Structure 1
Amino acid sequence: MILGSVLNPINSTIISVALIPIARALGVPPSQTAWLVSALYLATSLGQPVVGRLIDIFGPRRLFLLSTGLVGVAGVVGTLAPNLGALIAARVLLGFGTCAGYPAAMALVRSEAKRTGRDSPGGVLTALAVANQTIAVIGPLLGGLLIAVGGWRATFALNVPLAVAAVLLGLLRLPKSPPVDGERRRGGLAARLDLPGMGLFAAMLTSLLLFLMDLHPRNWYLAVIAAALGAAFGLRELRAATPFIDLRVLGGNTPLLATYGRALVAYVVSYSFLYGFSQWTEEGYGLSPFHAGLVQIPMFLLAIGASIVSGRRRGVRGKLLIGAAGQIVACLVMLTLTGSSPLWTLLLVALIFGVPQGLNNLALQNSVYFQADPERTASSAGLLRTFAYVGSMVASSATAVSFGQRADTGGMHELAWVMLAAGVLYLLLTVFDRTLGRVAAEGTPTAK
């Protein structure tokens, strides 16, 4: 469960220190290497709820093994890629390949709670959160080491042994799912999957994310197409007997919708810092990829501590409020930085960001577990990641627009203002959500 769930964050954090070396090696500006970030999250945004729904139907084992095997293929493609286009294709494969890890883990936690009658998964959910934070600590530093030893291609090659280990462990340890019954083979499966709904969802999200990745008036038609496809998707899901995303239930679950909204804006801040700040420390401040990774270590170390300390505490509202405040303070400090700022100020910003990094992820994860329909735990968890990745796409677009041809200090300040606006919105969404007080660490679901 843990190894599968960390395949996505390790690829997210490693690439943050590899963007500048890749740009230099291939002779492209930072605005183009932003597609390496966007491609992974576009694929993952599409794949997470789809794979989550398949896991709800078939169980986690089959989907985990298939998806994780694809990670190894992506590692080979990226290692041998001759140009930026091939690298982008490798990142797309990575996005689809890492889709199953997190929904499978959440589904296994839910099934184990049902089997034992003990719906108190605080320790397991904390372990998942801490594992992701630990990988985030290792990611930038490991990326810097790999680049120093084997060049940026080594950051893609790492996926091959990780995928082999995950597949072997999955074969040995994951419980086998029941065989597909006759009803599914006779066509009931297609109805349960709602293939038209999945297709409309994929087309809508692709149009939206393509618009977000290149915010420009000339791309207005993409927003119109996304809106039209969204309307068609809504009509389809409201009429489907077994919808891909049950909008009637989801629409009545205001607490879960608010959690998805918080995830979107939280990840705008988080990923803008992860990618934008890393690029600025290398190109605007002059650090090497290895030292840029070292600068982020205080953030992830404090995040691990915050997750461990708060993991078993009842409720999520306090965690979200402290996380929101931490985001705002860190953005304000970013606005004071220049290319001549002392190194300790960069470490201070990373340290402050560690508080929301540790609290927000855990609180959002716990919220979805208790707010979602138990029969759709995996797909609801996947949808949480989809909203988070939409936020990451906004962050990637904001980073590309802010930096343009070079990651300089002026661009970093522009990005900090975007992050500050998202942080304030996150705070407002938390302050005015009165349902958060009913989400308890002991497992009391929020009223639908």
Structure 2
Amino acid sequence: MREGTPMSQTADAPARHHARWVVAALCTGTLLSALNSGMIAVALSTLRREFGVDVATVTWVISVYYLTSAVLQPIMGRLADRYGPRRVFAIGMWTVALAGAVGPFAPNLVLLCAVRVLLAVGTATAFPSAAAMLRAVAATNGGNATKMIGRIQLVDTSSAAIGPVLGGLLIVGFGWPAIFWINVPLAALALVSTGLLAPRDAPRAHVPLRRTVAESDLPGIALFIVAIATLLGFLLELAHDPPWLLLPVAAIAGGLFAWRELRAASPFIDLRLLAANLPLVRVYALFILANLVFYGALFGIPQYLEDHAGYRTDVIGLLLLPLAAFNVVTAPLVERLIDRRGLQRALVIGLAALTVGSVALPLLGASTAPWVVLAATAAVGIPYVFVLVSITQSLYVAAPTERVGQAAGLFQTARCLGCIGAAVVVGLSFSGGTDPPDWVLLATVTVVLALATLVVALAWRPRASA
């Protein structure tokens, strides 16, 4: 028996216990983004009827949210590194509470989209700030920051599937405004729990906000927004009367964005950093593709089941639960697989299973019986846990230690781009209706995207296996 070991273990136990509580506190804020994604997924058909719009138009409530998040995630990572992650986190939660309070009073879809933008501003602070805070937690309390942030990402994905359950119950019981009201107490919980448990920000040199704004590459941000928004406007109308003039505008804005970012002293997205770190680019590319698959199912299934099969919103939420119901059981198995076999092998196993599982989605075109829906959502949800944990840990292997906050922000930007792409795919697939042929089209595209993700992971291998 080695002397001191029991005492050392006893001394470390309170620190590890405290670290777990800090992670739980941070999750109360980070889960709000995905939770709202899940709730809005089951509200789309209700909002279409409420405001008298079609599938492509209602998709904007998703697209503007993720476009705002995609723009702000890297910026929030930078703000967290400069002004303190705990402070940035708290400001974000107050913003979420404000959006939740004003959202129910939106009289039309345009103003509702504006509220969704405000909500995205608040939720965009959470993940980059949490990633930065966990470095301090790991340094003072021990533990593996990479695994802790992986667990936060896992909770976030679980909330994306719990969101439809909660959203369905709220909509049936209180109407669509309730999916906004619920953000007020949830944001308050995040403020209180992080205020009590999260580490205080370390002293930092004072940097005037005016200087930060000047260094935020506003021209690059504007060009990024124009490029994505015009491309979205073109794609969402592609099945009807596509505005062809938007296509060259998107191309020109994209080219100018790349030109600007390569020359800016403090670029919005550091393309030179990405060019010098291809493993990090690989992580982002795979995350975009994987989210196209997952959120294509999450945004598409509720509208199909409500419009075609006549399911109630709350029942649809329960049927979507297997998308993340097995996370708690599966995640430890994935972590052990990574420890034994490495990140690349675990990722490939997860993507292969996701590709096979996505083949179950077209079966909903033949039957929407509850057991078929449950089987199809489980077939996508279980392997996605393998993919998510592997990709998240790959991020923290590939990212430079001194720029983890910024890398985490770009990671969330990649997720947002995948979600925007999924919304476009759903909007185009359902442009003619939400009948079985339309669903089979969406499901087939999802299978192809899953296969493409697997091919990219196999063909583009990191130089050194983690």
Whether TM-score is above 0.5 comes out as yes
RMSD: 2.5
Unpaired runs of 5+ residues, structure 1, are 440-448
1:275-298 Cα distance to aligned partner (Å, 9 max, x none): 101211111222111111111122
CA drift at 1:341: 4.6
Sort the Cα spacing of 1:382 and 1:209 in 2 relative to 1 into closer, same or farther, 3 A.
Answer: farther
Aligned partner of 1:377 in structure 2 is 404
Q: 1:401 to 1:194 in 2, by over 3 A?
A: closer
Deviation (angstroms), 1:399 = 0.9
- Rounded Cα–Cα distance in structure 1 between residues aligned with 2:67 and 2:209: 33
* In structure 2, distance between residues paired with 1:74 and 1:187: 25
**1:138 counterpart = 2:162:** yes
2:82 corresponding residue in structure 1 = 57
Is residue 2:307 matched to residue 1:283?
A: yes
CA contact (8 A) 2:29 2:123 kept: yes
> CA 1:122/1:257 → structure 2, altered by over 3 Å: closer, same or farther?
closer
1:91 and 2:91 matched? no
Match of 2:230 in 1: 207
Question: How far does residue 436 in structure 1 lie from its aligned partner after superposition?
Answer: 7.2
Q: 1:434 to 1:416 in 2, by over 3 A?
A: same
Q: Given the superposition, is the C-alpha separation of residues 303 and 54 from structure 1 closer, same or farther in structure 2, using an over 3 Å criterion?
A: same
Q: 1:235 and 2:259 equivalent?
A: yes
CA shift at 1:119, angstroms? 7.5
Question: What residue in structure 2 maps to residue 168 of structure 1?
Answer: 192
Q: CA deviation at 1:50?
A: 1.6
Q: Match of 1:442?
A: none
Partner in structure 1 of residue 22 of structure 2: none
Match of 2:391 among 364, 372, 379: 364
- 8 A Cα contact 1:303 1:356, kept in partner: no
Name the TM-score, length of structure 1 as normaliser.
0.89
1:128 paired with 2:152, answer: yes
Which consecutive aligned stretches of 4+ in structure 1 deviate over 6 angstroms post-superposition? none
Distance 1:234 1:134, change over 3 A: closer
Q: 1:6-45, aligned counterparts within 5 Å?
A: 6-45=31-70
TM-aligned CA deviation for residue 75 of structure 1: 0.9
Contact 2:235 2:242 in 1 (8 A): no
Aligned counterparts of 2:143 and 2:281: Cα–Cα separation in 1:
23
Per the TM alignment, residue 402 of structure 1 is displaced from its structure 2 partner at its CA by 1.2
Deviation at 1:407, TM superposition (A): 1.8
* 1:271 has 2:295 as partner: yes
CA gap of 1:422–1:83, structure 2 versus 1, over 3 A, is same
Please report how far the alpha carbon of residue 211 of structure 1 lies from its aligned counterpart in structure 2 after TM superposition: 3.9
Matched residue, 1:69: 94
User: For 2:331, which of 307, 312, 324 is the aligned residue?
Assistant: 307
Q: Paired residue for 2:131? A: 106
Q: Contact 1:316–1:436 at 8 Å: present in 2 too?
A: no
Gaps of 5+ in 2: 1-25
- Structure-2 separation of matches of 1:415 and 1:264: 18
Q: Distance in 1 between matches of 2:189 and 2:209?
A: 36
CA contact (8 A) 1:303 1:355 kept: yes
Distance verdict in 2 for CA 1:62–1:117, change over 3 Å = closer
Rounded to whole Å, the distance in 2 between the matches of 1:402 and 1:377 is 37
Count of residues in Structure 1 that have an aligned counterpart in Structure 2: 437
Structure 2 residue aligned with 1:4: 29
Specify the SS of the correspondent of 1:245: coil
Deviation at 1:352, TM superposition (A): 0.5
Distance 1:230 1:56, change over 3 A: farther
Q: 1:28 to 1:101 in 2, by over 3 A?
A: same
In the alignment, the residues of structure 1 paired with residue 199 and residue 142 of structure 2 have an alpha-carbon distance, to the nearest angstrom, of 19
Deviation at 1:438, TM superposition (A): 2.0
Counterpart secondary structure, 1:438: coil
Q: Specify the alignment match of 2:344 in structure 1.
A: 317
Identify the residue that residue 349 of structure 1 maps to in structure 2: 376
Deviations, residues 180-238 of structure 1 (Å, cap 9, x unaligned):
636x3497645654444444444434434444444467334334333323333333333
C-alpha contact (below 8 Å) 1:67/1:96 kept by paired residues? yes
Q: Which piece of structure 1 moves more, 132-141 or 386-395?
A: 132-141
CA distance in structure 1 between the partners assigned to 2:153 and 2:401 by the alignment: 20
The whole-number CA distance in structure 1 between the counterparts of 2:309 and 2:167 is 19
Q: After superposition, where does 1:149-160 map in structure 2 within 5 Å? A: 149-160=173-184
Deviations 1:399-428 (A, max 9, x none): 111112632211111111211221111001
- Percent identity between matched residues is 34
Equivalents in 1 of 2:441, 2:61: separation in Å? 22
Q: 1:395 aligns with which of 416, 422, 427?
A: 422
Which stretch of the first structure deviates more once superposed, 24-33 or 268-277?
A: 24-33
| Match 1:333 to one of 351, 360, 378 | 360
Name 1:444's counterpart in structure 2. Answer: none
Q: Which residue of 2 aligns with 1:293?
A: 317
Deviation at 1:13, TM superposition (A): 0.5
Q: Does the 8 Å contact 1:77/1:87 carry over to 2?
A: no
Amino acid at match of 1:346: V
1:79 aligns with 2:104: yes
Letter of the 1:45 counterpart: A
Question: 1:215 and 1:43, CA in 2 relative to 1: closer, same or farther beyond 3 A?
Answer: farther
